Amino acid sequence: MKYISTRGHAAGEQFCDILLGGLAPDGGLYLPESYPQVSATELAAWRNLSYPELAFVVLSKFCTDILPEELAPLVSRTYAPQVFINARAGQWIEDITPLTTLGVERNTTLSLLSLSNGPTLAFKDMAMQLLGNLFEFVLKQRGQTLNILGATSGDTGSAAEYAMRGKKGVKVFMLSPKGKMSAFQTAQMYSLQDENIINIAIDGVFDDAQDIVKAVSNDHAFKAAHNIGTVNSINWARVIAQVVYYFKGYFAATKSNDEQVSFAVPSGNFGNVCAGHIARQMGLPIRKLIVATNENNVLDEFFKTGIYRVRTAKDTHHTSSPSMDISKASNFERFIFDLMGRDAAKTRALFKQVEKTGQFDISNTPEFASIEEKYGFVSGRSTHKQRLLAIREVFHDYKEIIDPHTADGVYVAFQYLEKGVPMIVLETAQAAKFNETIMEALGVNAARPDAYIDIEKREQRVIHIASDVNAVKDILSKNI
């Protein structure tokens, strides 16, 4: 399978090339030339597969330059039950992403697809554990090393660091927004003392950190000289690993492949829901993809109005679902590329306009008018008050403690319940990571796994800098 960029670059790269490359050389994001299709026969055969088996068949459609006999053990090692231990009960999770049906609401089932049973208690582990193993495999094959530069609003950072700890030939430089993550998230990252993990806190928001990652990647000479790679969802490998659990959730919520389901997805950088879009394009019977934002409602505004208007750091709210405090959604460009009929020139023009003016407006186009019918996207937003309400309601009605991001998903999902269409809310993190908000909502502490008890008291190691590309390049140069 060949990969192309949303901005036109098409040099025949294969999966392993773009895994290491991250961002395309023209500043765009990589996508396959066309989406692989899943036939009705395949879908029927996939229904009863285990998680690693399902991951193997889905990933095989994209990783065509890795031999099946090499991909299969790598995938089995990644999605092993001992890696995905239920943080609450301390038990191995055999099916990796269990579906919990909360109940019947307005003649349909409302369920949570639990994606946060991995080592860092957030859905990022689902892809990052795979990336760690893929990097190790490809780097060994090519005799190369990789220096990862990433940006986090709280969960990508720890997931990447835990996945890359001790990996040969890989160093992680992770940019985080100073003072904007929960105490648990901060401690989870900064308490790591591994030599190949370097945490850098910047004065700014996640978008500033993401802009720095892109600026360094777009300096081709620097990128080549320092073997810079990425782990954010701008890296296509992240997205395909996330595609797998949409299939898994669909099979768990239905009895036959004639049924449809809807997914409600807590969203920020548009990586998670973009994976849902890819699954739908491959042929998975998804009715609606519900984009749930917090107070940082850039995406909700777009799906409601056709205007994509990014916000500055000053206008980005610091909320109680902090991992979604994002006002420039990277993966959105992948969807716009599809929406524009895969026209790279149009996509490039739109995002150049965002760089210049901070927005684009496609409200009066047939493409915008077609979004819900053709792609199933709808959206909603939630606020602190509504988030707390959702946490309380789910606790009182169903005895589950959900985290604030999942709560945004639940709150918005209620607006789109349809008779006979199962609604699956993606559970994106464990409540333990956001105890401050759980305490505020319920007056109790969220249970945390033994390994994380008192993590906030451990010694922390982090470099503080201004939000400045050259300062980051300087740290990279000195530490590589």
Exposed/middle/buried for residue 11 (C-beta within 10 Å: 0-12, 13-18, 19+): exposed
Stretch 284-323: interaction string toward ligand LJ64HWYM, x if CB under 6 A: ---------------------------------------x
Residues 6+ apart with CB under 8 A from 454: none
Which one of ligand LJ64HWYM, ligand PLP, none interacts with residue 405, CB within 5 to 8 A by kind? Answer: ligand PLP
Cβ(71)–Cβ(56) under 8 Å? yes
- E runs forming strands in 312-445: 359-361, 377-381, 423-427
Q: Give CA–CA dist 210/329, Å, rounded.
A: 10
Residues 6+ apart with CB under 8 A from 349: none
* Binding positions for ligand PLP, rule: CB under 6 A: 122, 155, 233, 266-272, 323-324, 405, 428-429
Only segment of 150-158, 304-312, 439-447, 456-464 that touches ligand LJ64HWYM (CB under 6 A): 150-158
Structure tokens at 136: 């190790």
Helix (H, G, I), strand (E, B) or coil at 202: strand
* Kind and range of the H or E run holding 245: helix 236-253
Q: Give CA–CA dist 318/184, Å, rounded.
A: 16
Which one of ligand LJ64HWYM, ligand PLP, none interacts with residue 286, CB within 5 to 8 A by kind? Answer: none
Does 327 participate in binding ligand LJ64HWYM (rule CB under 6 A)? no
In the complex with ligand PLP, which residue's Cβ is closer, 32 or 268? Answer: 268
Which one of ligand LJ64HWYM, ligand PLP, none interacts with residue 428, CB within 5 to 8 A by kind? Answer: ligand PLP
Residues numbered 169 to 208 that lie near ligand LJ64HWYM (CB under 6 A) are 206
Does 153 participate in binding ligand LJ64HWYM (rule CB under 6 A)? yes
Which one of ligand PLP, ligand LJ64HWYM, none interacts with residue 429, CB within 5 to 8 A by kind? Answer: ligand PLP
In the complex with ligand PLP, which residue's Cβ is closer, 323 or 382? Answer: 323
Selected from 152, 186, 188, 217, the binder of ligand LJ64HWYM by CB under 6 A is: 152
Other C-beta atoms within 10 Å of 9: how many?
16
> Cα 99–268–98 angle (5° rounding)?
10
124 tagged catalytic: yes
Structure tokens at 45: 């055969």
- Per annotation, catalytic residue among 124, 214, 248, 433: 124
Contacts with ligand LJ64HWYM, residue ranges (CB under 6 A): 152-157, 206, 232-233, 268-269, 271, 323, 330
- Annotated catalytic residues are 124
